[in-house]
A and B are shown apart, each in its own frame.
Chain A
Amino acid sequence: MTDRKTKILFLIICTLQLFYLFNFRSGFRYEIIRNPFNENSGISYAVSPKVVESRNILKKYKATYFNLSEKLKNDAYFYQRSLEFNYPIRINQSSKLFFSSINEDISEKCKIIETGKYLKLTRC
Protein backbone atom coordinates (compact mmCIF):
# COMPACT_ATOMS: atom_id res chain seq x y z
CA MET A 1 0.00 0.00 0.00
CA THR A 2 1.34 3.43 -0.84
CA ASP A 3 1.88 6.09 1.82
CA ARG A 4 -1.00 8.12 0.44
CA LYS A 5 -3.46 5.25 0.68
CA THR A 6 -2.32 4.41 4.23
CA LYS A 7 -2.73 8.04 5.16
CA ILE A 8 -6.30 8.11 3.85
CA LEU A 9 -7.05 4.82 5.62
CA PHE A 10 -5.86 6.13 8.99
CA LEU A 11 -7.57 9.46 8.44
CA ILE A 12 -10.83 7.55 8.02
CA ILE A 13 -10.06 5.38 11.08
CA CYS A 14 -9.33 8.43 13.25
CA THR A 15 -12.49 10.17 12.06
CA LEU A 16 -14.59 7.08 12.78
CA GLN A 17 -13.01 6.75 16.23
CA LEU A 18 -13.84 10.38 17.02
CA PHE A 19 -17.37 9.93 15.72
CA TYR A 20 -17.79 6.85 17.90
CA LEU A 21 -16.58 8.79 20.97
CA PHE A 22 -18.85 11.71 20.12
CA ASN A 23 -21.94 9.65 19.41
CA PHE A 24 -21.73 6.77 21.86
CA ARG A 25 -19.34 7.65 24.68
CA SER A 26 -19.73 11.32 25.46
CA GLY A 27 -23.27 12.21 26.55
CA PHE A 28 -23.06 15.16 24.18
CA ARG A 29 -26.10 17.51 24.19
CA TYR A 30 -26.83 20.18 21.61
CA GLU A 31 -28.59 22.10 24.36
CA ILE A 32 -25.28 22.41 26.23
CA ILE A 33 -23.05 23.25 23.27
CA ARG A 34 -25.36 26.14 22.36
CA ASN A 35 -24.23 27.92 25.51
CA PRO A 36 -21.44 26.16 27.40
CA PHE A 37 -20.34 29.37 29.14
CA ASN A 38 -23.65 30.02 30.86
CA GLU A 39 -23.58 29.65 34.65
CA ASN A 40 -26.45 27.15 34.63
CA SER A 41 -25.38 25.25 31.57
CA GLY A 42 -25.69 21.46 31.78
CA ILE A 43 -27.05 21.42 35.33
CA SER A 44 -29.98 19.12 34.53
CA TYR A 45 -27.60 16.60 32.95
CA ALA A 46 -25.02 16.84 35.71
CA VAL A 47 -27.07 16.16 38.85
CA SER A 48 -30.57 15.04 39.83
CA PRO A 49 -33.45 17.57 40.15
CA LYS A 50 -33.40 16.99 43.90
CA VAL A 51 -29.81 18.25 44.12
CA VAL A 52 -30.63 21.22 41.89
CA GLU A 53 -33.56 22.04 44.17
CA SER A 54 -31.29 22.06 47.23
CA ARG A 55 -29.13 24.72 45.58
CA ASN A 56 -32.08 26.84 44.53
CA ILE A 57 -33.44 26.86 48.09
CA LEU A 58 -30.05 27.62 49.66
CA LYS A 59 -29.49 30.48 47.21
CA LYS A 60 -32.95 31.87 47.93
CA TYR A 61 -32.15 32.07 51.65
CA LYS A 62 -28.55 33.21 51.05
CA ALA A 63 -27.30 30.43 53.28
CA THR A 64 -23.60 29.92 53.93
CA TYR A 65 -23.96 26.61 55.77
CA PHE A 66 -26.52 23.83 55.78
CA ASN A 67 -27.09 20.43 57.32
CA LEU A 68 -28.82 17.25 56.19
CA SER A 69 -31.20 14.90 57.97
CA GLU A 70 -29.89 11.43 58.81
CA LYS A 71 -31.94 9.94 55.99
CA LEU A 72 -30.39 12.29 53.42
CA LYS A 73 -26.92 11.69 54.85
CA ASN A 74 -27.39 7.99 54.27
CA ASP A 75 -28.32 8.56 50.65
CA ALA A 76 -24.75 8.44 49.26
CA TYR A 77 -25.66 9.97 45.90
CA PHE A 78 -27.55 12.92 47.36
CA TYR A 79 -25.05 13.46 50.17
CA GLN A 80 -22.00 13.67 47.91
CA ARG A 81 -23.60 15.54 45.03
CA SER A 82 -25.34 18.09 47.23
CA LEU A 83 -22.09 18.81 49.07
CA GLU A 84 -19.98 19.38 45.98
CA PHE A 85 -22.73 20.97 43.87
CA ASN A 86 -23.65 23.49 46.57
CA TYR A 87 -20.07 24.47 47.34
CA PRO A 88 -19.05 27.16 48.46
CA ILE A 89 -22.13 26.75 50.66
CA ARG A 90 -20.77 24.15 53.05
CA ILE A 91 -22.25 21.43 55.17
CA ASN A 92 -21.87 22.11 58.87
CA GLN A 93 -23.05 19.84 61.67
CA SER A 94 -23.95 22.85 63.82
CA SER A 95 -25.92 24.64 61.12
CA LYS A 96 -29.54 25.35 62.00
CA LEU A 97 -30.70 24.99 58.40
CA PHE A 98 -31.70 21.38 57.84
CA PHE A 99 -32.71 19.67 54.64
CA SER A 100 -35.09 16.72 54.91
CA SER A 101 -36.86 14.65 52.29
CA ILE A 102 -40.38 15.81 51.50
CA ASN A 103 -41.95 12.76 53.18
CA GLU A 104 -39.78 12.82 56.30
CA ASP A 105 -41.21 13.64 59.72
CA ILE A 106 -39.85 16.82 61.22
CA SER A 107 -38.89 17.24 64.85
CA GLU A 108 -41.17 19.47 66.91
CA LYS A 109 -38.24 21.78 67.61
CA CYS A 110 -37.93 22.59 63.90
CA LYS A 111 -39.87 25.04 61.80
CA ILE A 112 -40.42 24.50 58.09
CA ILE A 113 -39.29 27.52 56.11
CA GLU A 114 -39.49 26.17 52.57
CA THR A 115 -41.14 23.18 50.96
CA GLY A 116 -40.04 22.16 47.51
CA LYS A 117 -40.92 19.27 45.22
CA TYR A 118 -38.36 16.89 46.77
CA LEU A 119 -37.01 18.63 49.86
CA LYS A 120 -38.01 20.59 52.93
CA LEU A 121 -35.79 23.22 54.49
CA THR A 122 -36.25 23.62 58.23
CA ARG A 123 -34.72 25.80 60.91
CA CYS A 124 -33.99 23.84 64.08
Chain B
Amino acid sequence: MAHTNFYEKITLILSFLILNNYLLLSLNFSLALIKINFIIFLFTVLVFYFKNFSENPFLKIFFLCIIFISLGTATFEWDARSIWLFHAKVMFYEDSVLSLDEGYKFAHIEYPNLAPAFASALGILVGFWNEVFPKIAFSLMFLPPLILIFSFFKDVRYLIFLSIVFFTVGKFLFNGWTDGLVAIYFGISAFLMYLLFIIDSNFYRNRLIFYLLAFCFFASLTLIKNEGVALLLVLFIAVFLIKLYKRELKKNIFKLLFLCISFLPIIFWKFFCYSKGIGNDYINTNILFNLLPRLEDLNNYKTISYFLFLNEKFLLTLTFFFVSFWIKFDKELFSFIFIITLMYILILFVIYLSTPYDFYWQLNSSAARVIRSLSFLLAFFALYNIKIAK
Protein backbone atom coordinates (compact mmCIF):
# COMPACT_ATOMS: atom_id res chain seq x y z
CA MET B 1 0.00 0.00 0.00
CA ALA B 2 1.28 3.46 -0.90
CA HIS B 3 2.58 5.76 1.79
CA THR B 4 0.08 8.35 3.06
CA ASN B 5 1.64 11.77 3.13
CA PHE B 6 1.42 14.40 5.82
CA TYR B 7 -0.97 16.69 3.89
CA GLU B 8 -3.44 13.92 3.16
CA LYS B 9 -3.54 12.97 6.84
CA ILE B 10 -3.98 16.59 7.94
CA THR B 11 -6.77 17.07 5.39
CA LEU B 12 -8.57 13.96 6.56
CA ILE B 13 -8.34 14.98 10.22
CA LEU B 14 -9.56 18.55 9.55
CA SER B 15 -12.45 17.55 7.32
CA PHE B 16 -13.46 14.80 9.75
CA LEU B 17 -13.45 17.32 12.64
CA ILE B 18 -15.68 19.72 10.68
CA LEU B 19 -18.20 16.93 10.08
CA ASN B 20 -17.85 15.71 13.64
CA ASN B 21 -18.64 19.20 14.92
CA TYR B 22 -21.85 19.18 12.87
CA LEU B 23 -22.79 15.83 14.34
CA LEU B 24 -22.04 16.91 17.92
CA LEU B 25 -24.14 20.06 17.57
CA SER B 26 -27.01 18.33 15.78
CA LEU B 27 -27.22 15.62 18.41
CA ASN B 28 -26.99 18.12 21.30
CA PHE B 29 -23.76 16.79 22.77
CA SER B 30 -22.24 18.70 25.69
CA LEU B 31 -20.57 22.06 25.07
CA ALA B 32 -17.32 20.66 26.47
CA LEU B 33 -17.14 18.10 23.66
CA ILE B 34 -17.84 20.77 21.05
CA LYS B 35 -15.05 22.93 22.50
CA ILE B 36 -12.61 19.99 22.57
CA ASN B 37 -13.44 19.18 18.95
CA PHE B 38 -12.70 22.76 17.91
CA ILE B 39 -9.49 22.90 19.95
CA ILE B 40 -8.27 19.72 18.22
CA PHE B 41 -9.07 21.38 14.90
CA LEU B 42 -7.04 24.48 15.81
CA PHE B 43 -4.21 22.29 17.13
CA THR B 44 -4.14 20.36 13.84
CA VAL B 45 -3.94 23.67 11.96
CA LEU B 46 -0.99 24.64 14.14
CA VAL B 47 0.71 21.31 13.39
CA PHE B 48 0.22 22.04 9.68
CA TYR B 49 1.74 25.51 10.15
CA PHE B 50 4.73 24.62 12.26
CA LYS B 51 5.79 21.19 11.06
CA ASN B 52 8.17 22.11 8.24
CA PHE B 53 7.26 25.78 8.38
CA SER B 54 9.15 26.56 5.20
CA GLU B 55 7.20 23.94 3.23
CA ASN B 56 4.13 25.35 1.48
CA PRO B 57 4.74 28.89 2.81
CA PHE B 58 2.43 30.52 0.26
CA LEU B 59 -0.76 28.95 1.58
CA LYS B 60 0.30 29.61 5.18
CA ILE B 61 1.04 33.29 4.60
CA PHE B 62 -1.87 34.00 2.27
CA PHE B 63 -4.28 32.20 4.55
CA LEU B 64 -3.20 34.36 7.48
CA CYS B 65 -3.95 37.39 5.27
CA ILE B 66 -7.45 36.00 4.63
CA ILE B 67 -8.05 35.60 8.37
CA PHE B 68 -6.73 39.12 8.94
CA ILE B 69 -9.15 40.57 6.34
CA SER B 70 -12.02 38.57 7.81
CA LEU B 71 -11.28 39.87 11.32
CA GLY B 72 -11.33 43.43 10.01
CA THR B 73 -14.76 43.28 8.39
CA ALA B 74 -18.23 43.24 9.87
CA THR B 75 -20.81 40.78 8.55
CA PHE B 76 -23.06 43.13 6.62
CA GLU B 77 -24.28 41.34 3.50
CA TRP B 78 -27.71 39.77 3.53
CA ASP B 79 -26.99 36.07 2.86
CA ALA B 80 -24.12 36.04 5.31
CA ARG B 81 -26.04 37.83 8.08
CA SER B 82 -29.60 36.70 7.71
CA ILE B 83 -29.00 33.10 6.69
CA TRP B 84 -25.63 31.60 7.50
CA LEU B 85 -24.44 33.53 10.53
CA PHE B 86 -27.95 33.83 11.87
CA HIS B 87 -28.24 30.02 11.84
CA ALA B 88 -24.88 29.93 13.59
CA LYS B 89 -26.07 32.42 16.20
CA VAL B 90 -29.22 30.40 16.88
CA MET B 91 -27.08 27.27 17.41
CA PHE B 92 -24.69 29.25 19.60
CA TYR B 93 -27.60 30.00 21.94
CA GLU B 94 -28.20 26.25 22.05
CA ASP B 95 -31.40 26.45 20.09
CA SER B 96 -32.33 24.50 17.01
CA VAL B 97 -32.98 26.48 13.84
CA LEU B 98 -36.12 24.37 13.61
CA SER B 99 -37.41 26.12 16.75
CA LEU B 100 -37.72 29.37 14.77
CA ASP B 101 -41.32 30.15 13.92
CA GLU B 102 -42.97 31.49 10.77
CA GLY B 103 -41.68 35.02 11.52
CA TYR B 104 -38.14 33.85 10.77
CA LYS B 105 -39.01 32.27 7.43
CA PHE B 106 -36.75 34.75 5.62
CA ALA B 107 -33.73 32.97 7.16
CA HIS B 108 -34.36 29.81 5.07
CA ILE B 109 -34.43 27.53 8.07
CA GLU B 110 -34.32 24.40 5.91
CA TYR B 111 -30.85 25.17 4.45
CA PRO B 112 -28.03 22.79 5.41
CA ASN B 113 -25.95 23.91 8.37
CA LEU B 114 -22.40 22.58 8.21
CA ALA B 115 -20.72 26.01 8.04
CA PRO B 116 -23.06 27.67 10.59
CA ALA B 117 -22.44 24.76 12.99
CA PHE B 118 -18.71 25.32 12.71
CA ALA B 119 -19.05 29.09 13.27
CA SER B 120 -21.29 28.37 16.23
CA ALA B 121 -18.63 26.08 17.75
CA LEU B 122 -16.11 28.90 17.44
CA GLY B 123 -18.54 31.17 19.28
CA ILE B 124 -18.99 28.52 21.98
CA LEU B 125 -15.21 28.28 22.36
CA VAL B 126 -14.75 32.06 22.59
CA GLY B 127 -17.72 32.38 24.93
CA PHE B 128 -19.76 35.13 23.25
CA TRP B 129 -21.13 36.22 19.90
CA ASN B 130 -20.40 39.28 17.82
CA GLU B 131 -20.67 40.57 14.26
CA VAL B 132 -17.06 39.90 13.28
CA PHE B 133 -15.13 36.85 14.46
CA PRO B 134 -17.61 33.94 13.92
CA LYS B 135 -17.22 34.17 10.16
CA ILE B 136 -13.53 33.19 10.32
CA ALA B 137 -14.84 29.66 10.90
CA PHE B 138 -16.11 29.78 7.30
CA SER B 139 -12.60 30.75 6.16
CA LEU B 140 -11.09 27.93 8.24
CA MET B 141 -13.27 25.47 6.34
CA PHE B 142 -11.28 26.29 3.19
CA LEU B 143 -8.17 24.77 4.73
CA PRO B 144 -8.79 21.02 4.16
CA PRO B 145 -9.22 21.28 0.36
CA LEU B 146 -6.41 23.82 0.03
CA ILE B 147 -4.03 21.62 2.05
CA LEU B 148 -4.96 18.46 0.14
CA ILE B 149 -4.02 20.02 -3.20
CA PHE B 150 -0.49 20.54 -1.97
CA SER B 151 -0.03 16.77 -2.40
CA PHE B 152 -0.58 17.26 -6.11
CA PHE B 153 0.76 20.70 -7.01
CA LYS B 154 4.09 21.97 -5.77
CA ASP B 155 5.86 25.33 -5.97
CA VAL B 156 4.82 27.33 -9.04
CA ARG B 157 1.82 25.15 -9.79
CA TYR B 158 0.55 25.56 -6.25
CA LEU B 159 0.91 29.34 -6.64
CA ILE B 160 -1.09 29.18 -9.87
CA PHE B 161 -3.68 27.09 -8.02
CA LEU B 162 -3.90 29.76 -5.29
CA SER B 163 -4.21 32.43 -7.93
CA ILE B 164 -7.15 30.48 -9.41
CA VAL B 165 -8.74 30.29 -5.96
CA PHE B 166 -8.36 34.05 -5.41
CA PHE B 167 -9.71 34.77 -8.87
CA THR B 168 -12.74 32.46 -8.84
CA VAL B 169 -13.67 32.57 -5.15
CA GLY B 170 -12.55 36.12 -4.35
CA LYS B 171 -14.31 37.84 -1.48
CA PHE B 172 -16.24 34.66 -0.63
CA LEU B 173 -13.05 33.49 1.10
CA PHE B 174 -13.77 35.77 4.04
CA ASN B 175 -17.23 37.38 3.93
CA GLY B 176 -19.33 34.68 5.59
CA TRP B 177 -21.08 33.41 2.46
CA THR B 178 -20.99 29.74 1.54
CA ASP B 179 -20.74 30.02 -2.26
CA GLY B 180 -16.94 29.95 -2.21
CA LEU B 181 -16.95 26.83 -0.04
CA VAL B 182 -19.33 25.10 -2.45
CA ALA B 183 -17.07 25.99 -5.40
CA ILE B 184 -13.90 24.65 -3.77
CA TYR B 185 -15.48 21.53 -2.22
CA PHE B 186 -17.15 20.77 -5.54
CA GLY B 187 -13.92 21.14 -7.51
CA ILE B 188 -11.99 18.92 -5.11
CA SER B 189 -14.82 16.38 -4.92
CA ALA B 190 -14.75 16.16 -8.72
CA PHE B 191 -10.99 15.69 -8.52
CA LEU B 192 -11.33 12.85 -5.99
CA MET B 193 -14.01 11.23 -8.13
CA TYR B 194 -11.62 11.49 -11.09
CA LEU B 195 -8.74 9.92 -9.14
CA LEU B 196 -10.86 7.10 -7.75
CA PHE B 197 -12.91 6.17 -10.78
CA ILE B 198 -11.81 7.75 -14.05
CA ILE B 199 -8.00 7.88 -14.12
CA ASP B 200 -6.39 4.81 -15.64
CA SER B 201 -4.27 3.90 -12.64
CA ASN B 202 -4.76 1.91 -9.46
CA PHE B 203 -2.51 4.18 -7.41
CA TYR B 204 -5.39 6.06 -5.74
CA ARG B 205 -7.99 3.29 -6.00
CA ASN B 206 -5.96 1.08 -3.69
CA ARG B 207 -5.62 3.68 -0.98
CA LEU B 208 -8.27 3.72 1.74
CA ILE B 209 -7.45 7.30 2.74
CA PHE B 210 -8.72 8.57 -0.61
CA TYR B 211 -12.09 6.89 -0.08
CA LEU B 212 -12.29 8.41 3.39
CA LEU B 213 -11.31 11.82 2.02
CA ALA B 214 -13.90 11.49 -0.74
CA PHE B 215 -16.55 10.53 1.79
CA CYS B 216 -15.77 13.56 3.99
CA PHE B 217 -15.66 15.97 1.06
CA PHE B 218 -18.84 14.61 -0.51
CA ALA B 219 -20.78 14.77 2.76
CA SER B 220 -19.43 18.28 3.40
CA LEU B 221 -20.41 19.42 -0.09
CA THR B 222 -24.03 18.38 0.43
CA LEU B 223 -24.14 19.94 3.90
CA ILE B 224 -22.77 23.34 2.88
CA LYS B 225 -25.59 24.40 0.58
CA ASN B 226 -28.54 22.85 -1.28
CA GLU B 227 -26.62 23.42 -4.50
CA GLY B 228 -24.02 20.95 -3.24
CA VAL B 229 -26.55 18.11 -3.39
CA ALA B 230 -27.19 18.82 -7.09
CA LEU B 231 -23.46 19.10 -7.74
CA LEU B 232 -22.64 15.81 -6.03
CA LEU B 233 -25.48 14.10 -7.86
CA VAL B 234 -24.00 15.40 -11.12
CA LEU B 235 -20.62 13.88 -10.18
CA PHE B 236 -22.17 10.49 -9.42
CA ILE B 237 -24.22 10.49 -12.63
CA ALA B 238 -21.15 11.47 -14.69
CA VAL B 239 -19.10 8.60 -13.23
CA PHE B 240 -22.03 6.22 -13.63
CA LEU B 241 -22.44 7.13 -17.31
CA ILE B 242 -18.73 6.87 -18.07
CA LYS B 243 -18.43 3.52 -16.32
CA LEU B 244 -21.53 2.25 -18.07
CA TYR B 245 -20.10 3.32 -21.43
CA LYS B 246 -16.77 1.64 -20.67
CA ARG B 247 -18.57 -1.48 -19.35
CA GLU B 248 -16.77 -1.17 -16.02
CA LEU B 249 -19.76 -0.46 -13.85
CA LYS B 250 -19.84 -3.88 -12.18
CA LYS B 251 -16.24 -3.49 -11.06
CA ASN B 252 -16.94 -0.17 -9.36
CA ILE B 253 -20.51 -0.46 -8.18
CA PHE B 254 -19.70 -1.28 -4.53
CA LYS B 255 -17.27 1.59 -4.20
CA LEU B 256 -19.83 3.94 -5.69
CA LEU B 257 -22.51 2.63 -3.35
CA PHE B 258 -20.20 3.11 -0.37
CA LEU B 259 -19.61 6.73 -1.37
CA CYS B 260 -23.36 7.21 -1.87
CA ILE B 261 -23.64 6.97 1.93
CA SER B 262 -22.31 10.53 1.96
CA PHE B 263 -25.82 11.63 0.91
CA LEU B 264 -27.29 10.27 4.14
CA PRO B 265 -26.66 13.26 6.46
CA ILE B 266 -28.40 15.69 4.10
CA ILE B 267 -31.24 13.20 3.51
CA PHE B 268 -31.74 12.95 7.28
CA TRP B 269 -31.71 16.75 7.60
CA LYS B 270 -34.23 17.25 4.79
CA PHE B 271 -36.42 14.48 6.16
CA PHE B 272 -36.28 16.09 9.61
CA CYS B 273 -37.26 19.49 8.14
CA TYR B 274 -40.05 17.85 6.16
CA SER B 275 -41.38 16.10 9.29
CA LYS B 276 -41.55 19.53 11.00
CA GLY B 277 -43.45 20.95 8.03
CA ILE B 278 -40.53 23.10 6.87
CA GLY B 279 -40.01 22.87 3.15
CA ASN B 280 -37.92 24.32 0.40
CA ASP B 281 -39.35 27.27 -1.57
CA TYR B 282 -38.70 25.46 -4.83
CA ILE B 283 -40.25 22.18 -3.79
CA ASN B 284 -43.19 23.61 -1.89
CA THR B 285 -44.43 25.65 -4.80
CA ASN B 286 -45.60 24.09 -7.96
CA ILE B 287 -42.45 23.79 -10.07
CA LEU B 288 -44.34 22.94 -13.26
CA PHE B 289 -46.64 25.90 -12.74
CA ASN B 290 -43.60 28.23 -12.95
CA LEU B 291 -41.62 26.18 -15.45
CA LEU B 292 -44.12 25.46 -18.23
CA PRO B 293 -45.03 29.03 -19.24
CA ARG B 294 -41.34 30.01 -19.29
CA LEU B 295 -40.25 26.99 -21.36
CA GLU B 296 -41.77 28.29 -24.57
CA ASP B 297 -40.23 31.74 -24.50
CA LEU B 298 -36.83 31.84 -26.21
CA ASN B 299 -36.00 35.12 -24.49
CA ASN B 300 -35.83 33.32 -21.14
CA TYR B 301 -33.01 31.10 -22.42
CA LYS B 302 -31.22 34.16 -23.76
CA THR B 303 -31.55 35.95 -20.42
CA ILE B 304 -30.25 32.94 -18.48
CA SER B 305 -27.35 32.51 -20.90
CA TYR B 306 -26.55 36.20 -20.62
CA PHE B 307 -26.36 36.07 -16.83
CA LEU B 308 -24.57 32.73 -16.58
CA PHE B 309 -22.10 32.84 -19.44
CA LEU B 310 -21.32 36.51 -19.98
CA ASN B 311 -19.39 36.47 -16.77
CA GLU B 312 -15.73 37.47 -16.94
CA LYS B 313 -14.63 34.75 -14.52
CA PHE B 314 -16.46 32.03 -16.40
CA LEU B 315 -15.24 33.19 -19.82
CA LEU B 316 -11.61 33.46 -18.72
CA THR B 317 -11.59 30.06 -17.02
CA LEU B 318 -13.34 28.49 -20.01
CA THR B 319 -10.66 29.93 -22.30
CA PHE B 320 -7.95 28.59 -19.96
CA PHE B 321 -9.66 25.19 -20.06
CA PHE B 322 -9.74 25.06 -23.86
CA VAL B 323 -6.17 26.30 -24.19
CA SER B 324 -5.01 23.66 -21.71
CA PHE B 325 -6.76 20.86 -23.60
CA TRP B 326 -5.51 22.27 -26.91
CA ILE B 327 -1.95 21.90 -25.58
CA LYS B 328 -2.66 18.34 -24.48
CA PHE B 329 -5.89 16.55 -25.12
CA ASP B 330 -6.74 13.99 -22.44
CA LYS B 331 -9.94 12.46 -23.75
CA GLU B 332 -11.05 10.87 -20.46
CA LEU B 333 -10.49 13.98 -18.40
CA PHE B 334 -12.09 16.20 -21.01
CA SER B 335 -15.22 14.05 -21.31
CA PHE B 336 -15.54 13.81 -17.53
CA ILE B 337 -15.45 17.61 -17.11
CA PHE B 338 -17.54 18.18 -20.21
CA ILE B 339 -20.35 15.89 -18.95
CA ILE B 340 -20.31 17.50 -15.49
CA THR B 341 -20.38 21.02 -16.91
CA LEU B 342 -23.17 20.23 -19.34
CA MET B 343 -25.33 18.51 -16.72
CA TYR B 344 -24.90 21.29 -14.20
CA ILE B 345 -25.74 23.96 -16.78
CA LEU B 346 -28.87 21.98 -17.66
CA ILE B 347 -29.85 21.85 -13.98
CA LEU B 348 -29.25 25.60 -13.65
CA PHE B 349 -31.52 26.29 -16.62
CA VAL B 350 -34.29 24.15 -15.12
CA ILE B 351 -33.88 25.82 -11.71
CA TYR B 352 -33.97 29.34 -13.11
CA LEU B 353 -36.89 28.58 -15.39
CA SER B 354 -38.87 27.20 -12.46
CA THR B 355 -38.02 29.85 -9.88
CA PRO B 356 -41.00 30.94 -7.79
CA TYR B 357 -39.36 34.38 -7.46
CA ASP B 358 -39.12 37.13 -10.03
CA PHE B 359 -37.15 35.64 -12.92
CA TYR B 360 -34.88 38.64 -13.51
CA TRP B 361 -34.27 39.30 -9.81
CA GLN B 362 -33.33 35.65 -9.20
CA LEU B 363 -30.79 35.67 -12.03
CA ASN B 364 -29.38 39.04 -11.12
CA SER B 365 -28.91 38.09 -7.49
CA SER B 366 -27.49 34.60 -7.88
CA ALA B 367 -26.15 33.72 -11.37
CA ALA B 368 -22.68 35.22 -10.85
CA ARG B 369 -22.31 33.33 -7.57
CA VAL B 370 -23.60 30.01 -8.85
CA ILE B 371 -21.35 29.96 -11.92
CA ARG B 372 -18.27 30.22 -9.68
CA SER B 373 -18.42 26.48 -9.04
CA LEU B 374 -18.02 25.79 -12.74
CA SER B 375 -15.36 28.50 -13.13
CA PHE B 376 -13.25 26.91 -10.41
CA LEU B 377 -13.82 23.41 -11.80
CA LEU B 378 -12.72 24.41 -15.32
CA ALA B 379 -9.64 26.34 -14.17
CA PHE B 380 -8.58 23.65 -11.69
CA PHE B 381 -8.77 20.83 -14.24
CA ALA B 382 -7.10 22.99 -16.88
CA LEU B 383 -4.16 23.38 -14.50
CA TYR B 384 -4.19 19.67 -13.64
CA ASN B 385 -4.21 18.79 -17.35
CA ILE B 386 -1.15 21.00 -17.95
CA LYS B 387 0.55 19.36 -14.97
CA ILE B 388 0.08 15.81 -16.24
CA ALA B 389 1.10 16.94 -19.74
CA LYS B 390 4.60 17.79 -18.49
Q: Roughly how many angstroms separate A25 CA and B133 CA in the complex, as a whole number?
A: 18
28 contacts across the A-B interface (CB closer than 8 A): A10-B163, A14-B58, A14-B163, A17-B167, A21-B171, A22-B69, A26-B171, A26-B175, A32-B71, A33-B68, A36-B72, A36-B133, A37-B126, A37-B133, A39-B129, A40-B130, A45-B74, A45-B76, A47-B76, A79-B106, A80-B78, A80-B107, A84-B81, A84-B82, A84-B86, A84-B89, A87-B93, A88-B95
* Interface size bracket, B side: 35 or more
Give the 6 A-B residue pairs with the shortest CB-CB distance, closest first.
A42-B74, A33-B72, A45-B74, A10-B159, A17-B166, A46-B74
Nearest-CB distance from B77 to chain A (Å)?
9
Nearest-CB distance from B2 to chain A (Å)?
27
Q: A21-B170, A41-B130, A83-B104 are in contact. Are A13 and B73 (CB under 8 A)?
A: no
Chain A residues near B75 (CB, 8 Å)? 42, 46
Nearest-CB distance from A85 to chain B (Å)?
8
Query: What is the predominant secondary structure among interface residues of chain B facing chain A?
Result: helix
Supply 20 further A-B pairs (C-beta < 8 A) apart from A17-B166, A80-B107. Answer: A7-B155, A11-B58, A13-B159, A14-B159, A26-B69, A26-B175, A27-B76, A29-B74, A32-B72, A32-B132, A33-B71, A36-B133, A37-B126, A37-B130, A37-B132, A42-B132, A83-B106, A87-B86, A88-B95, A93-B103
Q: Roughly how many angstroms separate A14 CA and B58 CA in the complex, as a whole number?
A: 9
* Interface size bracket, A side: 35 or more
Residues of A near any B CB (own CB < 8 A): 3, 6-7, 10-11, 13-14, 17-18, 21-22, 25-30, 32-33, 36-43, 45-47, 79-81, 83-84, 87-88, 91, 93
Nearest A-chain residue to B160, judged by Cβ: A10
Is B43 positioned at the interface, with any CB of A under 8 Å from its CB? no
Query: What is the predominant secondary structure among interface residues of chain A facing chain B?
Result: helix
Chain B residues near A43 (CB, 8 Å)? 74, 131
